[in-house]
Structure 1
Amino acid sequence: MLLVVLLALTALVSGCNTPALYQDDIYNPPVYWGRHVVKPGETLYSIAWRYGRDYRELGSANGIKPPWHLKAGQVLRLDLRGTVTSGRQTKAVASKAPPTRTARAPAPTAKSAPKPTVTRAPDKAAPLASQNQTVARVNWRWPHVGTVIAGYSSSGKVNKGIDIAGKAGDAVRAAASGNVVYAGNGLLGYGNLIIVNHNEHYLSAYAHNRKILVQEGEDVKAGQVIAELGSSGAERPMLHFEIRKNGNPVDPAHYLPRR
């Protein structure tokens, strides 16, 4: 036993990926120790998914900026903590705020301009506020019509999502519109996996597929067929479906419409 522990510590120090984190049947809170060596085919999204981290936070911790490109052999430190900011909102506020201030400044000298400027400022601000408030809203739909055979659980026999029964070859559909940020089989326990980014907060995953029908970087629409249901990485044909908010697994039953 002592030898096993020493070998594990040696592997960590020598730069190997942080061990004991790839098993899907073990619940792992966010990992903030060790480091990860990027392998061919891995993306920041899939790596963050593996370690229970928000991809933006992990990228920030390692000085990586959008569009989050990685290279094989690149080392990501997991013992660092990054920050998460809303890039789109920050840019929007920066571009809209200055015109409002400059429009008010010349008011005493301009006789014809003040009224139109004053009335336009609220009109511009209102859509921005509305957009910021709805940025996290996603119109979810069921990715498959089968029966749920295992629900979400964060204790006991942990399940980070739900398992839906089906037949091999059944259509697996995108639960919401978004962009495919991972399509592969590099995460142990998930088989052929697809991860879709829906907005700054939400990701969804579709595991155990027989065949992946989309590619990384592809935009998909809600209800679009993205894979064929299968049993890769599972004992029976089924779809394992997850939703993660800011990197954390959440119960899909709280988001999917009632049947």
Structure 2
Amino acid sequence: MQANLTKTPASLLLMIALSAVLAGCASPKHRAPVEDRPVGAQARTTPAVAPAAAAPVVEAKPAPGAENEGKPGYYTVKPGDTLIRIALENGQNWRDISRWNSVENPNRIEVGQVLRVLPPSVDAGAVSTKAVASPRVESRPLDSRPTPAAASAATPAPAPAPTPVSAAPAAAAAAGADDDLTWGWPAAGSVTSGFDEQKNKGLAFGGRAGDPVLAAADGRVVYAGSGLRGYGNLVIIKHNATYLTAYAHNQSLLVKEDQAVRKGQKIAEMGSSDADQVKLHFEVRKQGKPIDPAKLLPSR
């Protein structure tokens, strides 16, 4: 056998070796771990990615009462407003404003909300027109009284009979009745700071802690509490459709909301709540606008 191999050409031996190697690779026991897949199988098994959907457009919800913005007799809530402050600035009871606007939680009003600040029975347009049409009456000093000589010299000529206009005479009579109040001093102490429409919207009275604070006129308490920043323990009295008075920085309050009070009745005790010293801050509001109380209070 050895003799035969030595006689075999080298080329023939190389061919036999290569054939053996190829036969081993083709054996089923050594198949490569490759799985045949049809073309396009990946595309069928991978879900298509949908294009990103556009973000939905959310329309801004209008604030409650926005349809009345700018109308006479309505007020648009501003940052920092509270229902108590809005009521004071408009000469109303905060509970009434809450009821007129169906406000369930008076502590939750939103900026931009439009609130009715006049009773539903009042024609706000007529009130606005009347205020513009009679500036002479509004600008007259509240405590001025014409002398007899001036009254006789200023006797006007007979005027033509006026044309009847809905409830204008009744409104005028009511306004006259509202101005007919008897006023008294709210504290016995001296005035330490006078009226300034921008810096001090009332009078400041000096005194000692516990000194009595008195109702300046007959009326009904519409607020008694400390919910108005800058006023401390506060009492607000509504005297009629025109006038409110406010008594601030008290040490203690002696009346409750919706309580009727008489002129000179003790309603609180002087203090320094939300203030740097003991004092009474006293305001008079005419239809919500602060006026100088000294023009209404009698001489001492």
TM-score above 0.5, yes or no: yes
1:215 aligns with 2:256: yes
Q: CA deviation at 1:233?
A: 1.1
Letter in structure 1 aligned against 2:182: N
Q: 1:153 is matched with which residue: 191, 196, 199?
A: 196
CA distance in 2, matches of 1:239, 1:147: 10
Q: Which string of whole-angstrom CA distances, capped at 9 and with x for unpartnered residues, describes residues 178-226 of structure 1?
A: 1111111111111110000111111100001111000111111110000
Q: Which string of whole-angstrom CA distances, capped at 9 and with x for unpartnered residues, describes residues 30-55 of structure 1?
A: 974536787xxxxx5x23256x3343
Query: Does the 8 Å CA contact 1:37/1:74 hold for their aligned counterparts?
Result: no
Match of 2:289?
248
Q: 1:182 is matched with which residue: 210, 218, 223?
A: 223
Q: 2:78 is matched with which residue: 21, 25, 34?
A: 34
Match of 1:65?
100
Q: 1:195 is matched with which residue: 219, 229, 236?
A: 236
Q: CA deviation at 1:127?
A: 10
Match of 2:109?
75
- After superposition, residues 58-137 of structure 1 pair within 5 angstroms as 64-65=99-100, 71-75=105-109, 80=114, 82=116, 84=118, 87=121, 133-137=176-180
Letter in structure 2 aligned against 1:246: Q
Q: Which string of whole-angstrom CA distances, capped at 9 and with x for unpartnered residues, describes residues 82-137 of structure 1?
A: 46369599xxxxxxxxxxxxxxxxxxxxxxxxxxxxxxxxxxxx999855631342
CA distance in 1, matches of 2:291, 2:78: 25
| % identical aligned pairs | 38
Q: CA RMSD in A?
A: 3.8
Q: 2:86 is matched with which residue: 35, 43, 48?
A: 48
Distance 1:204-1:251 versus aligned 2 partners, 3 A rule:
same
Letter in structure 1 aligned against 2:78: G
For structure 1, which runs of at least 5 residues remain unmatched after alignment? 1-14, 16-29, 39-43, 90-125
**Which portions of structure 1, spanning 4 or more consecutive aligned residues, are displaced by more than 6 angstroms?**
35-38, 56-60, 126-129
Query: Counterpart of 1:253 in 2: which secondary structure?
Result: helix
For structure 2, which runs of at least 5 residues remain unmatched after alignment? 1-62, 64-73, 124-168
The number of residue pairs the alignment matches comes to 184
Distance 1:82-1:57 versus aligned 2 partners, 3 A rule:
farther
